[in-house]
Chain A
Amino acid sequence: MFVARSIAADHKDLIHDVSFDFHGRRMATCSSDQSVKVWDKSESGDWHCTASWKTHSGSVWRVTWAHPEFGQVLASCSFDRTAAVWEEIVGESNDKLRGQSHWVKRTTLVDSRTSVTDVKFAPKHMGLMLATCSADGIVRIYEAPDVMNLSQWSLQHEISCKLSCSCISWNPSSSRAHSPMIAVGSDDSSPNAMAKVQIFEYNENTRKYAKAETLMTVTDPVHDIAFAPNLGRSFHILAIATKDVRIFTLKPVRKELTSSGGPTKFEIHIVAQFDNHNSQVWRVSWNITGTVLASSGDDGCVRLWKANYMDNWKCTGILKGNGSPVSGSSQQGNSNPSLGSNTPNLQHSLNGSSAGRYFFPPLDSPRAGSRWSSYAQLLPPPPLVEYSCDADTANLQYPHPRRRSLSRPLNPLPENEGV
């Protein structure tokens, strides 16, 4: 892994969420400065902010993209007790000339009476649906029946979770094999609150969501939750960010064994549990194939977890702050491709002091009958060069560290106080 670019976000307050669109060509950021920004990647690979607007009257917790089948649509949720849906307008105005795009609010979802803590679009096969959850303990599922008219959203379901909700995750598995399913996590820290993760499944007969499972073993506050892409497995994988990172598998128990009509029951196993973040884990998220889980925690690191071909989970990578400020330029390309730069070990071994090895062989002059004679004629023998290489070429150097003066922050909202 390497930092390919650093882009000045220019938010006036703390950024709470960053979100790539489906193709990775656009991104959205949201902040306590109550705004959302959209960034577009140009053909040359540079990122430009193409829209920035005030979205809410409180901190914006999360921002997320709808599938491009539904157009260019964003949803945001906020401390101001609302979630909102935004659509990009293809304008005839001058915006385009200035490289700016225009986003309009299509709807404000005002059903929550407390801070809306998470918003997620449902898997696309379910149509244009989104779920929100809020501190009042209710998960709400909305649907836009007409994908060309995003101003109409109907509240389809309200699921009461009894506990202040912090995060939701749709099961991305296809509809043919599995009913729609949503997992909810709670960060309720009151002492008598028990299990913090509940899983709800849609029942075709009752047309309602019913609780399928409660993860009894997760009793500490949960900050994030994520189903893995399915990859054709018969079971589901769920990652949870609590005081540690946990990965569960949920194997559906065959229907005929359970009482008919009721929600699916699952055999639940914990397959991994890592406390490397030392304390609270705040975010978990899967890569697009569900082979790598990333988690972010109180240790200030993002850790990457991967199962090897034996299905053993291990930490394979760590993204860690280097603590020193970045130099002032707004966009930096660090495109120094270097083979094996992540692991200086081999370079050490190749270029280290041991017995002064020569590793670049000037080619043999063609020898009759040699296996390489045909190849060796390709190029004349280059001069002999002995290479030495510093071990730390992998570490990115930022010359002239200099602290940027920051614009004064907005006064933060009193977010801790009860709503």
Chain B
Amino acid sequence: MEELDGEPTVTLIPGVNSKNKQMCFDWGPGEMLVCETSFKKGKSELVPGCPFIHIIRKDVDVYSQILRKLFNESHGIFVGLQRIEEELTGKSRKAQLVRVSKNYRSVIRACMEEMHQAAIAAKDASSSRQLSSQVSILSAMELIWNLCEILFIEVAPAGPLLLHLLDWVRLHICEVDSLLADVLGSENPSKHESFWKLVTILVLQGRLDEARQMLSKEADANPTSAGMCRILGDLMRTMPVLSPGNTQTLTELELKWQHWHEECERHLQDSTFASSPHLESLCKIMLGDEAALLEQKEHLNNWYHFLVTRLLYSHPTVKPTDLHFYAQSSLDLFLGGESSPEPLDNILMAAFEFDIHQVIKECSIALSNWWFVAHLTDLLDHCKLLQSHNLYFGSNMREFLLLEYASGLFAHHSLWQLGVDYFDYCPELGRVSLELHIERIPLSTEWKALKVLRICEQRQMTEQVRSVCKILAMKAVRNNRLGSALSWSIRAKDAAFATLVSDRFLRDYCEHGCFSDLDLIDNLGPAMMLSDRLTFLGKYREFHRLYGEKRFVDASFLLLSLMTSQIAPRSFWMTLLTDALPLLEQKQVIFSAEQTYELMRCLEDLTSGRPLCGEPDTQQLQDDDIEATKVEMLRLALARNLARAIIKEGSLEGS
């Protein structure tokens, strides 16, 4: 089985001497690093001859400003095409697909236009040349696509087929239009130096009405040939053609055409045009005379024009299945052994042979960018052509090419967003490819991060969502933006990290006596349950709020419950007990006797559990001193509160 790829492309790395050095490299998400090195350890000449690191990019076209339009607009068409689908059948479906194909082509043409303008406007010759060469490649793409549209999508039958092919040739070989304007604009058209060239080209393209008008100008200006011109003009007028609204059958047409052909032949044999070589040669062309046609090589430009003209004047009702035969012989006759076919010729020939696989293969070899093959293959796949042609890997080929194209888009800092949709429509490997690509999008701004998150969330990519949030949380912690870190870890549902950030908050509180990011902590809601420490943080902050609102009873109840329920980490108990001090010292009794007992138990728990240190240094001694004072104060306050509470409770009960 043939392969899709041709010869490997060679990229030259400047300055690296591949003869006696090697290269080390690394893959990035969109780029590659390459650098000269020597792997043979211990060689004498170690210093690199090329002390440069080279950044290699894969798809050059992705970075072209003008082509961005092509990518952007075709993306819309692509997505639309994926959606038209199924409900449509038969004629309406075909009409839809043809419309889609034309939309793609008009995007190519618009892009080509813009590039052409840019080429004209280009300041320096080299960029102008480069743009021009891109124009010709786009033009070739459109040419190929157009032919594929006629043959594979439109599937024009015998008769209309030739009309389509004529349109195709006229569209792509249209220098004649400017020539026409030029000649008609001159004072005396029939004396214009290109007059006969123009008429010949018009005839070659089957534009007989226009040719006839030109002949009438010649007749007016030159009475001696007026008669001949009229006869030839009549032949042009009477040539039977299939017109779209006409109901005549192919057989009728063929019969009429045969009759007309014989008439032309008779005029030639009667030497009607003998005195005018120009007119005679036109008559020969209209007879489909191969030698006469080949004499016009320079006006035909290329073999496929030759093919279409030849069919027009000798086999106007050519069947699609016979096309390849005429195509091959036209190519052979036209090149005449002087030159060999080139990639474009091979691509067109494969299309005439209805070998879709070959068309795609040749295109992907000849074009470095995947835009063309990916979109064309996808469209042909929607026409159900890849299956019917017995390519058992048909849908794989579509996906393979789309994946290539989408990966290329992901190398670009903004086009990657288009790539997402292409991955979405690759049933087999699209999702996993998207997962691998999307997590590599640099989260350089919050806006970009949110965009990545939205894409992942829409597709239930939980692991990627978690990872992105985690990265952002870590970044925020490193920059000491605790609020942001906390909200990202909540979004990541990362309990461990939420604990870590909560600890930071509490540590900061211990150090500075106030909380940052109050908004966030006050509005944690159910997210508070993510980790015990976070719950504690939320509750502890609630205590502060209650205290600030002078709701001392609620505050004290909460404070105590934080310790008794073990939500508060033991390391924080001393802080909590210290927080209780002012409550104990209030005029009215806040902690009941029972609550005071609980507080006392907590304090004793804490102090008794303390391990004795071996050899304390002075700093520690000082710390211990402060600690001991604190404990003494607490004990005193607790005892006094207990006394007051007992009295209060006793007197209340007694009354």
**Which residues of A pack against B, CB within 8 Å?**
1-11, 13-20, 22-25, 27, 29, 32, 39, 43, 47, 68-72, 90, 124, 148, 223, 229, 231-232, 280, 282-283, 285-289, 291, 294, 296-304, 306, 308-310, 312, 314-326, 335-343, 345-352, 354-365, 370-372, 375, 378-379, 381-385, 387-390, 393, 395-396, 398, 404, 406, 409, 412, 415-416
Please name all residues of chain A whose beta carbon is closer than 8 Å to the beta carbon of B439 when the two chains form the complex.
22
Given A148-B500, A316-B5, A346 and B343 touching (CB < 8 A)? yes
Question: Are B474 and A318 touching (Cβ within 8 A)?
Answer: no
How far does the alpha carbon of A123 sit from the alpha carbon of B336 in the complex, in Å?
62
Q: How far is the CA of A39 from the CA of B31 in the complex (A)?
A: 15
Q: Which of A68, A288, A371, A372 contacts B437 (CB 8 A)?
A: A288
Q: A14-B37, A23-B440 are in contact. List 20 more A-B contacts (CB 8 A).
A: A4-B56, A5-B55, A14-B38, A20-B29, A20-B33, A24-B442, A39-B53, A296-B24, A318-B9, A321-B17, A321-B36, A323-B18, A338-B60, A339-B67, A339-B134, A359-B135, A360-B136, A364-B171, A370-B167, A388-B129
As a 0/1 sequence over residues 1 to 29 of chain B, the CB contacts with chain A under 8 angstroms (1 = contact) are 10111001111111111111111111111
Select from chain B the residue with minimum beta-carbon distance to A1: B11
Task: Please name all residues of chain B whose beta carbon is closer than 8 Å to the beta carbon of A325 when the two chains form the complex.
Answer: 14-15, 49-50
Listed A/B pairs (22) with beta-carbon separation below 8 Å? A3-B54, A4-B55, A6-B14, A6-B15, A15-B36, A24-B442, A43-B444, A69-B467, A280-B39, A289-B437, A291-B407, A308-B5, A321-B12, A322-B13, A337-B67, A338-B64, A341-B60, A342-B60, A349-B345, A361-B174, A362-B177, A404-B51
Could you mark each residue 35-62 of chain B with 1 if its beta carbon is under 8 Å from any beta carbon of chain A, else 0? 1111101100011111111111110110
Nearest chain A residue, comparing its CB with the CB of B434: A289
Other-chain contact of A24, B16, B30, B339, B429 (Cβ < 8 Å): B30
Residues from chain B with Cβ under 8 Å of A39 in the complex: 53
CB <8 Å contact, B396 and A309:
yes
The CA-CA distance from A375 to B344 in the complex, in Å, is: 25
Which of B83-91, B261-269, B295-303, B622-630 binds A? B295-303
Does residue B367 face the partner (Cβ distance < 8 Å to A)? yes
Inter-chain contact A285/B26, CB cutoff 8 Å: yes
Closest chain B CB from A271 CB (angstroms) = 15
Of all A-B residue pairs in the complex, the 9 with the closest CB atoms, nearest first, are A300-B18, A321-B16, A349-B342, A24-B28, A337-B64, A20-B28, A321-B18, A416-B42, A309-B400
Does any Cβ of A come within 8 Å of B515's Cβ? no
A277 to B56, CA, bound (A): 20
Q: B133, A351: Cβ atoms under 8 Å? A: yes
CB of A93 to closest CB in B, whole Å: 14
What are the residues of chain A within 8 A of B63 when measuring CB–CB? 335, 337
Partner of B120, one of A8, A355, A385, A416: A385
Q: How far is the CA of A24 from the CA of B23 in the complex (A)?
A: 19
> With an 8 A cutoff between CB atoms, is B433 at the interface?
yes
Complex Cα gap A318–B407 (Å): 19
B9 in contact with A310 (CB, 8 Å)? no
A6 vs B57: C-alpha distance when bound (angstroms): 12
Question: Is B600's CB within 8 Å of the partner chain A?
Answer: no
What is the distance, in angstroms, from A374's C-beta to the closest C-beta of chain B? 9
Asked if B46 contacts A23 (CB within 8 A), the reply is no
Residues on the A chain within 8 Å of B25, using CB? 18, 283, 285, 294, 296, 302, 319
Q: Kindly list chain B residues whose C-beta atoms are within 8 Å of the C-beta of A315.
A: 8
What A residues does B35 contact at CB under 8 A?
A: 9, 15, 18, 29
* C-alpha spacing A361/B177, complex, angstroms: 10
Partner of A124, one of B17, B106, B368, B467: B467
Residues of the B chain whose Cβ atoms lie less than 8 Å from the Cβ of A404: 51
Residues of A within 8 A of B16 (CB): 300, 320-323
**B-side contacts of A359, CB under 8 Å:** 135-136, 139-140
Bound form: Cα–Cα A286–B345 in Å: 36
B258 at the interface (CB under 8 A from A): no
Q: Give the distance to chain A from B566, nearest Cβ to Cβ, in Å.
A: 23
Given A359-B139, A382-B120: A390 and B129 interface contact (C-beta under 8 Å): yes
Q: How far is the CB of A358 from chain B (nearest CB, A)?
A: 5
Write the B127-150 contact mask toward A (1 if CB under 8 angstroms, else 0): 101101111111110000000000
Q: B residues engaging A (CB < 8 A)?
A: 1, 3-5, 8-39, 41-42, 46-58, 60-61, 63-65, 67, 102, 106, 109-110, 112-113, 116-117, 119-120, 126-127, 129-130, 132-140, 167, 170-175, 177-178, 181, 297-298, 300-302, 334-335, 339, 342-345, 365-369, 393, 396-397, 399-400, 403, 407, 429, 432-433, 436-437, 439-444, 467, 470-471, 474-475, 477-480, 500
Dominant secondary structure of chain A at its interface with chain B: loop
CA distance A159 to B65 in the complex (A): 53
User: Is B22's CB under 8 angstroms from A282's CB?
Assistant: yes
CB contact between A308 and one of B3, B8, B170 (< 8 Å): that residue: B3
Report the separation of the CA atoms of residues A222 and B187 in the bound assembly, to the nearest whole angstrom: 82
The reply to whether A362 and B178 form a contact with Cβ atoms under 8 Å apart is yes
> Whole-angstrom distance between the alpha carbons of A66 and B239 in the complex?
77
Given contacts A231-B433, A387-B133, A389-B132, contact A342 B18 (CB under 8 A): no
Partner of A14, one of B1, B46, B171, B367: B46
Q: Once the chains bind, are B135 and A310 in contact (CB under 8 Å)?
A: no
Q: How far is the CA of A382 from the CA of B57 in the complex (A)?
A: 34
| Residues A6 and B52 in contact, CB atoms below 8 Å apart | yes
A340-B369 contact given A288-B27, A378-B113, A384-B178, CB 8 Å threshold = yes
Q: How far is the CA of A294 from the CA of B445 in the complex (A)?
A: 32
* A90 to B29 alpha-carbon distance, docked (Å): 25
Contact at A14–B47, with CB atoms within 8 Å? Answer: yes
Q: Is the CB of B133 within 8 A of A20?
A: no
Which residues of the other chain, A, contact B429 by a CB distance below 8 angstroms?
231-232
Instruction: Indicate if the CB atoms of B343 and A18 lie closer than 8 Å.
Output: no
Q: Are A9 and B8 in contact (CB under 8 A)?
A: no
A5-B54, A317-B11 in contact; A346/B23 too (CB < 8 A)?
no
Docked complex Cα distance between A355 and B302 (Å): 7
Q: B8 contacts which chain A residues (CB < 8 A)?
A: 303-304, 314-318
Whether A396 contacts B467 by the Cβ 8 Å rule is no
Inside 8 A of A362's CB, which chain B residues have their CB? 174-175, 177-178
Residues on the A chain within 8 Å of B175, using CB: 358, 361-362, 384
In the complex where A340-B367, A381-B177 touch, is A350 in contact with B27 (Cβ < 8 A)? no
A20 touches B56 (CB 8 A): no
With most chain A CB atoms within 10 A of its CB, the pick from B17, B39, B339, B396 is: B39
The answer on a CB contact under 8 Å between A11 and B51 is yes
**In the complex, A114→B41 CA distance in Å?**
15
CB distance from B294 to the nearest CB of A (A): 11
Query: Which of these, A23, A324, A415, contacts B14 with CB under 8 Å?
Result: A324
- Collect the chain B residues with CB atoms within 8 Å of residue A90's CB: 478-480
- Within the assembled complex, what's the spacing in Å between the Cα atoms of A223 and B38? 13
Separation in Å of the A79 CB from the closest CB of chain B? Answer: 9
Tell me if B51 and A345 are in contact (CB < 8 A): no
For B301, the chain A residues whose CB sits under 8 A away are 355-358
Instruction: Compute how far the CA of A319 lies from the CA of B21 in the bound complex, rounded to whole angstroms.
Output: 13
Give the distance to chain B from A173, nearest Cβ to Cβ, in Å.
12
Find chain B residues with CB under 8 A from A283 CB: 24-25, 39
Contact A27-B33, Cβ < 8 Å, known A321-B21, A359-B139, A360-B139: yes
Interface pair A1/B9, CB less than 8 Å apart: yes
CB contacts (< 8 Å) of B300 on chain A: these are 355
Q: Could you say which residues of chain A place their CB within 8 Å of the CB of B48?
A: 14-15
Please state if A375 and B109 are interface contacts (CB–CB under 8 Å): yes
A354-B339 in contact given A309-B396, A319-B11, A337-B64 (Cβ < 8 Å): yes
Give the residue name and chain of the A residue nearest to B58 (CB).
A1
- Which of these, A29, A291, A297, contacts B22 with CB under 8 Å? A297
Please report the C-alpha to C-alpha distance between residue A15 and residue B23 in the assembled complex, in whole angstroms: 10
